[in-house]
Chain A
């Protein structure tokens, strides 16, 4: 019964990935793709296809809860999706070109670099809950980049507004590109786009980023489908596993102070990042 063993292995890996992903806000795919490709022998195209599908599932599940909380800024999210979906189309086409030309080592190396670069923000967790106010610019008014929400930790109503919409769009284009290329949600890059470029509060950035990931991933996964990179059994199990994992993650998140968990996660990320680069280089030479 090899296949039952394999099924259980896939399910456990995707539950772990979903669990870690929701605890850290990086999404399941960041650890999922390395586990699948490095340890389970699944081809890169199928691993990224499955992880894209699972990203839609977790984003849709979480977004429905966040919209209820009214922290997500639907306007800002939607306006940035122009760039993420555009980037996702280009990224998926680029991924297809890379697979066609048997240059998959590039994806391993890029994936490794992306993982390692997401370690830094994990260590240097932004201590500032709210950004320093900056002067609104012309984009603030045209694109209605403002809102308010009730912050439960600060116990106050927070009013905010975003600036530099165009800079946000540029960062989002690359977030979409990376997402289409590597089959990840690239939530970290999306948060940078809103947090750093548009000066939005962290809570708004993270929830809005999560809201956007589903639409971005739907764009790339339909192209992945077209290219034949989605293996139904693999993608199906992964979607179910990651949903279970991220549900467990949110339950644990409210109960623990997660400094130790974060340290473990950082070590896992560094290990997987280096392994991916080593694999890429060995495929190259």
Chain B
């Protein structure tokens, strides 16, 4: 299969997974009291204290908010996967300068996701 098709499918699957998780999350959330807390302009929810391991624990408990959060994480991860596949694609074409360029883009992304949270 052409690498372009792989990338196209990866993007589509990423969006599909994320939308499904979000919708499941809303269905689970709608029957809990937390629903009215979140569905208001005065919601005080703060993602800065959300830890990934708590989200996974919440998923096992069938916690609606955690399904939505995981869906949002999947959405943010989709472009990251896309860039990783880009590195592979350029490596297969032996296009050295573009392997380097794509690695720089990947570095910027990982800087925002993993490194800056440690500093700030």
Q: Which residues of A contact B (CB under 8 A)?
A: 2-4, 6-7, 40-43, 46, 53, 56-57, 59-61, 63-65, 67-68, 70, 74-75, 78-79, 81-82, 85-86, 88-89, 92, 142-144, 214-215, 217-237, 239-240, 243
| B23 → A minimal CB distance (Å) | 7
Do residues B40 and A6 form an inter-chain contact, with CB atoms below 8 A?
Answer: yes
Cross-chain pairs A/B with CB under 8 angstroms, 29 sampled: A41-B41, A42-B41, A56-B79, A57-B75, A60-B11, A60-B78, A60-B82, A61-B15, A63-B11, A64-B11, A64-B12, A68-B5, A68-B8, A78-B98, A78-B101, A82-B105, A85-B112, A142-B97, A144-B97, A144-B98, A214-B79, A215-B79, A215-B83, A223-B112, A229-B47, A236-B26, A239-B18, A239-B75, A240-B23
CB < 8 Å neighbour of A67 from B4, B72, B108: B4
How many B residues face the partner with a CB closer than 8 A? 59
Do residues B79 and A218 form an inter-chain contact, with CB atoms below 8 A?
Answer: yes
- Nearest B residue to A230 via CB reads B47
Residues of A close to B79: CB separation below 8 A: 56, 59-60, 214-215, 217-218
Residues of B close to A86: CB separation below 8 A: 108
How far does the alpha carbon of A235 sit from the alpha carbon of B72 in the complex, in Å? 8
CB < 8 Å neighbour of B39 from A7, A67, A239: A7
Q: Digit string of B74-90 for contact with A (CB within 8 Å is 1, else 0)? A: 01111110110010010
Do residues B48 and A239 form an inter-chain contact, with CB atoms below 8 A?
Answer: no
Do residues B68 and A236 form an inter-chain contact, with CB atoms below 8 A?
Answer: yes
- Nearest A residue to B19 via CB reads A240
Residues of A close to B45: CB separation below 8 A: 231-233
- Nearest B residue to A243 via CB reads B19
Given the interface pairs A78-B86, A232-B68, the reply to whether A89 lies near B4 with Cβ below 8 Å is no
